Structure 1
């Protein structure tokens, strides 16, 4: 029962709403109906435009490479016959809905209706080696490699087109006449797209490895405006090494700065600290060879390895042999002189065993010899609880509506921050230098420069508010144009419709309107019944009665006046 009552109540309310709507429409005149129709048509048109805009599919290129004229026309005819929505761009490119792009691409590739020459090896397939010769085959190989490299580069979404030119290496039996292979690359980038340094270096490495005899420094990359994207590398090895060392030093300094800010900013807030780090780095490699000899044995004596003993015996006689030829003649046995002497000499050589230890130490490629840190801290912001005065002070100041005051950090806070930063960078007291300062980040400039700075800030804020201001201006302009169009086109229609309506006078209280003669007779009788003509004239009585009648029955009075005018005409 409750459900039936609820359903019946809903049906009754719906019927009442329908009746009210029908009565409202029936109560409108012709001009009001026209105005209502125009407004409904405008609303439906705007709603349909929004729905159509939101329901449009994203258009993507059917093929990234431009099509030749014949293939372009054939694909257009096929899409038109199938009633597939498409758009065309310059360089013979066709855009199709994203949901149908994959299926169409596969189908056209199966029909061999794709961009010609996107595969570099087609140059080799179309060349007969027997007719072309060795020189032409070398040129065709270069063209094939250039086309394949350009095709690879076009896979990057930020690159619209790419052109690669290769200069082959020059071989010579003389070393000073040899030249390495080189390559030039021109990238046609999409609008508002910038290649990162890592992307450019990656392209250099890829192209250098794809070309025989080329290095990354021999690959030059530019954009369509001939801006150099690749960094030139010095040919001198020492200069190149110095440049690499400088890059390593700068990267290390940036890492130290990030470490310092990661420690300080959570305490003071973003933008409240400025850090600079300077490193002294030694990039000289060192190789140290150290020899350590073994010590004595347990008794404190050196260890003996071997001992060599040598003994010599020498005899000396008192009388010598006779001089002359007789010395060479054999003599009889002569006994030794009892007065002769003999000498014995002994020599001992001992070889000791000595331990030898050799150590080779190779130090790191670079060594930090000194760290210099400069840290500047801004004052702390404190709210005083008072509302900021003035609209512009709130607009140009902080995001909240309270006034902000600044105060310096205490010595204890500075000491704690200093200890944290030193621990983060690995500070060595006798080697490194550290400086910390606390002052308000407020530029010391002249009044003129301060005024220019404020004007610049105002301009920046106006730039931020410009989109909103433009929307408001467009809205009021639309309202103004709509009002003028309404007055110019709709108001005349309403006035014409009002004039075309039949003029009917409402019935008088007596039921039938009175004639002029009857009204004049009534006025004469009233004049006779009232005071003497000397005090009140007929015109005054008529004026009084007319004013009273108009106040009591304004609609009836208007109808009477209209009826009198029509009778006179």
Structure 2
């Protein structure tokens, strides 16, 4: 704006309307306001440049996570050699690379054996020198390889993040009678605390035991990163597994019997008006019985043995003394012809009969899960009769009906009084529970990934709107009234100058619009004194153009305003 506060009317008139109007508007703002608007424009330019940069920046995706520092260092060194940009996350255990390079890098690094994960397997023998390795070093490497392979296998489970295995394989000495059993310890880093059940713990125990010669599953100790002992050495996981199965069987049995009672009684009493609880005492001991029975009445001849013996013997009595002459053959023959003789005859018969006695052998194995006692508690809703006030009054069911229900329950469950089974049925008032109102379904049923993808644009949009509302709009409100004031002052100044130049022209003629050339050329008149509010820069430009083209008419109009005012 020139000195003296006068507008550049001639300059604006010589320019095209498209250029003149913005110049006039900017000229009417003033120096300070132009600087303020420039700063706002720069802020918006920087803000949108930030948005464009964020949209065009490289997207990074996770390459590897949960790495130890050694493996992370090897991967970073290899990425730097390949010239691939990367970012480290967490405590240095996560590596991020551009999304379009992730798959190719995984394949390339896997070909080079990365990441190693800090666990050594059987590849330790790939470059080993068989001639320069001692027996001790070979045994140590074999143990390391076995521990590493087991750790890799266990770490591939879905619930396990990483694993470490320690094996103790005692060396058998010469002339040692008792053999020391090997043992193993497994340390697990779980993805979720308590993420392993008994079956999975038992599977790990048997996996380690089957991989080490002479190792029993009871000799494997397992603990997690929270310090919880999952499996104790000397305890078989099957023991805990059997206990869990026993508990599950007991709960399933009680629930099945409960449903049977409720279903039976609801058909006569009504749905939702019967409640029952069943407690079962179950014996899970396994009993093996061997019984051998003999039947004395069932004898059968198996074999018969008969022995007959007959013996004849004779002997002559000796009358002479014992001498040499008596023992000569001639003398003995003479003596045999005479004298007394004795004879002996024996007959013996022996019979042996073998009998087979009837025998019964009975082997009986009673599995666990036998019901020793059942306790059943049932409560049923009563009946409701109209009261004097018109409401329904609760009345318990009579004893006869409850006895009939008890008979039904005993028969349905097969209760045995000799076994100690008990049943109790009561009639009590049920409290009606109002169902919870189901949540209304919304049209914006986005998934979590969709919501996360919309968060950033939504935040940027909100920031933009807040900047427009609380930054630009208050500034414009402060600038426009001052602009209007400056425009009115410009019009007044121009009018005073024109009135000075006009001299003594008749005001009445100008006020009445009788100036020559006014009819048909001047646009429809308007009373400026009735205009209130803001005067835009375009209107000021139009007024300036009219004053320059028709100075006489302008002077007459201004004089009319002065007379009316």
| TM-score class normalised by the smaller sequence | 0.5 to 0.7
Q: What is residue 474 of structure 2 aligned with on the other side? A: 492
For residues 167 and 393 of structure 2, what CA distance do their matches in structure 1 show? Answer: 64
For residues 386 and 131 of structure 2, what CA distance do their matches in structure 1 show? Answer: 93
For residues 344 and 63 of structure 2, what CA distance do their matches in structure 1 show? Answer: 116
Q: What is residue 433 of structure 1 aligned with on the other side? A: 420
For residues 420 and 162 of structure 1, what CA distance do their matches in structure 2 show? Answer: 53
Q: Say whether 1:152 aligns with 2:163.
A: no
Q: What is residue 220 of structure 1 aligned with on the other side? A: 221
Deviation at 1:112, TM superposition (A): 5.3
The structure-2 alpha-carbon separation of the partners of 1:229 and 1:281, relative to structure 1 and needing over 3 Å to count, comes to closer
Structure 2 residue corresponding to 1:71, chosen from 57, 71, 75: 75
Q: What is residue 547 of structure 1 aligned with on the other side? A: none
The structure-2 alpha-carbon separation of the partners of 1:93 and 1:325, relative to structure 1 and needing over 3 Å to count, comes to same
Contact 1:312 1:346 in 2 (8 A): yes
Q: What is residue 108 of structure 1 aligned with on the other side? A: 109
Contact 1:62 1:96 in 2 (8 A): no
Secondary structure of the 2:226 match is coil
Secondary structure of the 1:180 match is coil
Bigger mean CA offset, 413-422 vs 281-290: 281-290
RMSD: 5.9
Q: In the TM superposition, what whole-angstrom CA distance separates every residue of 1:162-199 from its partner, at most 9, and x where no partner exists?
A: 22222222424576864322222221222456222211
Q: What is residue 277 of structure 1 aligned with on the other side? A: 280
Deviation at 1:74, TM superposition (A): 2.7
Alignment of 1:508-547 (within 5 A): none
- Paired positions, count: 398
Contact 2:298 2:357 in 1 (8 A): no
Q: What is residue 185 of structure 1 aligned with on the other side? A: 186
Q: What is residue 305 of structure 1 aligned with on the other side? A: 304
Deviation at 1:281, TM superposition (A): 5.4
Q: Normalising to structure 1: TM-score of the pair?
A: 0.52
For residues 62 and 393 of structure 2, what CA distance do their matches in structure 1 show? Answer: 52
Contact 2:299 2:358 in 1 (8 A): no
For residues 246 and 63 of structure 2, what CA distance do their matches in structure 1 show? Answer: 44
Q: In the TM superposition, what whole-angstrom CA distance separates every residue of 1:303-328 from its partner, at most 9, and x where no partner exists?
A: 873443445679999xx876966999
Alignment of 1:399-478 (within 5 A): 410-422=402-414, 430=418, 432-438=419-425
Structure 1 residue corresponding to 2:259, chosen from 259, 265, 285: 265
Contact 2:154 2:160 in 1 (8 A): yes
Larger radius of gyration: 2
Deviation at 1:117, TM superposition (A): 5.2
Q: In the TM superposition, what whole-angstrom CA distance separates every residue of 1:481-504 from its partner, at most 9, and x where no partner exists?
A: 999989854763574477368699
Alignment of 1:179-258 (within 5 A): 179-192=180-193, 194-233=195-234, 248=242, 251-252=245-246, 254-258=248-252
Q: Normalising to structure 2: TM-score of the pair?
A: 0.52
For residues 373 and 310 of structure 2, what CA distance do their matches in structure 1 show? Answer: 74
The structure-2 alpha-carbon separation of the partners of 1:114 and 1:336, relative to structure 1 and needing over 3 Å to count, comes to closer
Deviation at 1:202, TM superposition (A): 1.0
For residues 441 and 77 of structure 1, what CA distance do their matches in structure 2 show? Answer: 80
For residues 344 and 336 of structure 2, what CA distance do their matches in structure 1 show? Answer: 27
Structure 1 unmatched ranges of 5 or more: 1-40, 235-239, 387-402, 443-460, 465-477, 505-555
Contact 1:257 1:275 in 2 (8 A): no
Q: In the TM superposition, what whole-angstrom CA distance separates every residue of 1:454-495 from its partner, at most 9, and x where no partner exists?
A: xxxxxxx9xx9xxxxxxxxxxxxx9x9999989854763574
Deviation at 1:420, TM superposition (A): 3.0
For residues 282 and 137 of structure 1, what CA distance do their matches in structure 2 show? Answer: 49
Secondary structure of the 1:131 match is coil
Q: What is residue 13 of structure 1 aligned with on the other side? A: none
Q: In the TM superposition, what whole-angstrom CA distance separates every residue of 1:489-545 from its partner, at most 9, and x where no partner exists?
A: 4763574477368699xxxxxxxxxxxxxxxxxxxxxxxxxxxxxxxxxxxxxxxxx
Deviation at 1:77, TM superposition (A): 6.8
Q: In the TM superposition, what whole-angstrom CA distance separates every residue of 1:360-404 from its partner, at most 9, and x where no partner exists?
A: 543327567861222333444999999xxxxxxxxxxxxxxxx99
Q: What is residue 20 of structure 1 aligned with on the other side? A: none
For residues 486 and 383 of structure 1, what CA distance do their matches in structure 2 show? Answer: 68
The structure-2 alpha-carbon separation of the partners of 1:94 and 1:249, relative to structure 1 and needing over 3 Å to count, comes to closer
For residues 102 and 315 of structure 1, what CA distance do their matches in structure 2 show? Answer: 120
Structure 2 unmatched ranges of 5 or more: 1-43, 264-271, 430-435, 440-458, 488-526, 535-561
For residues 316 and 369 of structure 1, what CA distance do their matches in structure 2 show? Answer: 84
Contact 2:410 2:423 in 1 (8 A): yes
The structure-2 alpha-carbon separation of the partners of 1:169 and 1:122, relative to structure 1 and needing over 3 Å to count, comes to same
Contact 1:290 1:360 in 2 (8 A): yes
